[in-house]
Structure 1
Amino acid sequence: MDATLHLAQEPDADALLGRSPLAALTGMLLDQQIPMEWAFKGPWTISQRLGADDLDAHEIAAYAPEAFAALLSQKPAVHRYPGSMAKRIQQLCQYLVEHYDGDPEAIWKDAGSGQELRKRLEELPGFGKQKAQIFLALLGKQLGVRPQGWREAAGAYGEAESFRSVADITGPASLAKVRAFKQEMKAAAKAAGSGKA
């Protein structure tokens, strides 16, 4: 993997996301209940606290859980819920070690189709259907991973020229469009909810 991503909106953190499959997966895992930039800066913060240039699934999987939770809890914390996210990251890394010899790229290297890749992503700890579809769209749109049928497997997130998720963010302008889309969705959901009352 060697791409330029703009998800953390910080050069060093984005450079790590673009070269490290595990960093990109970890950022996607962290992307819940906190601002996107905070989530995608997390992998870089973790690598710095580990004193490494990259993240290693074997190292994180074997790390003492209490110590890893403490690492994520240091100020500034990596996530709003650093303890539970530390556990999830370790579960993800343990799964990668067990099923892919610690190599996250193996998830998509030989995937025969978009559906197969989505299934593999959905099997990852902490990845449901939506997270798997968004990550699949990110792989296809920005990282050049395009097995047959990847757009269809990514659902609406795979649509060209859409601004629905992190898969569509390539800079400040697209970030603003994705934020606007998310606000529209929240407003529509709120309106639908109040209409039922």
Structure 2
Amino acid sequence: MTSFHLTGDANADELLATDDNALLAGMCLDQQIPMEKAFAGPSVIAERMRGQFDVLAIAAMPQEEFVDLCAAKPAVHRFPGSMGARLHQLCQVLAEEYQGDASRLWADGDGAEILRRLKKLPGFGDQKARIFLALLGKRRGLDAAGWREAAGEYGQDGYRSVADITDAESLQKVRETKKAAKAAARQAEEGASR
């Protein structure tokens, strides 16, 4: 079994390592908040739902009720309303199209097909879908043909994203890479506006 070191909480990391639905949900939440908080979100939700991250139960709940669950203190996300609604929509898609099992998204097909499926999910744009595909390949043992190519730069070796985090040291390297990329983008933007 693959271990994860994404949240700083052993129980939350264990859930990510053992529950594909929780891992996908964590990726969905990973925007505009620290990665550790995003990926710990499914564990917080599980605690609030009698100890289980249950996609079918979430999908069956009224959206407002699930958003309230996400907004309870401490909130699951900085924007509990919009992100709670998005996560609820994701769970509905998993329930309706994948029998409540995220692993069915990548159980067959090549990398390009899996990427296409991921990009259709609520909250998954091109970059997030490519990062998650890389996470599946690098950390979950996905062996679909062409997954590295479909993941683009995130499929390459290095420290670009959550897919490359295996311990505290690699987490720090990913943070440094992201910081350098943001600085370069800012510099390029400033250069273009002159």
TM-score (norm. length: structure 2): 0.97
SS at match of 1:7: coil
Q: 1:171 maps to what in 2?
A: 167
Report percent identity of matched pairs: 53
- Residue 127 of structure 2 aligns with which residue? 130
2:150 to 128, 131, 153: 153
Corresponding residue of 1:81: 79
* Aligned residue identity for 1:71: L
2:3 maps to 4
Task: Tell me, in whole angstroms, the C-alpha distance in 2 between the residues paired with 1:74 and 1:96.
Answer: 24
CA distance in 2, matches of 1:140, 1:196: 37
Deviations 1:156-186 (A, max 9, x none): 00002x1000000011100000000000011
Distance across 2 between alignment mates of 1:158 and 1:50: 35
> Helix, strand or coil for the counterpart of 1:14?
helix
Q: What is the alpha-carbon distance in structure 1 between the residues aligned to residue 46 and residue 55 of structure 2?
A: 12
* Aligned-CA RMSD value: 0.9
Question: Which piece of structure 1 moves more, 77-86 or 56-65?
Answer: 56-65
Q: 1:39 maps to what in 2?
A: 38
Q: 1:121 maps to what in 2? A: 118
Residue 60 (structure 2) aligns with: 62
User: Runs ≥4 in structure 1, deviation > 2 angstroms?
Assistant: none
Query: Does residue 1:186 correspond to 2:182, yes or no?
Result: yes
Q: What's 1:107 paired with?
A: 105
The letter for the 2-side match of 1:75 is K
Amino acid at match of 1:149: G
Kindly indicate whether residue 26 of structure 2 is the aligned counterpart of residue 27 of structure 1: yes
Q: CA deviation at 1:190?
A: 0.7
Distance 1:14 1:20 in 2: 10
Tell me how far 1:63 sits from its aligned partner. 1.0
Deviations 1:128-174 (A, max 9, x none): 111110000000001111201110010000002x1000000011100
**TM-superposition CA deviations, 1:18-53 (whole Å, max 9, x none):** 00011000000000000000000000000001112x
Aligned length: 193
- Structure 2: state its 5+ residue gaps: none
Q: In 2, Cα distance between the equivalents of 1:3 and 1:177?
A: 20
Structure 2 residue 137 is the aligned partner of structure 1 residue 140? yes
Query: C-alpha displacement at 1:3, in angstroms?
Result: 2.1
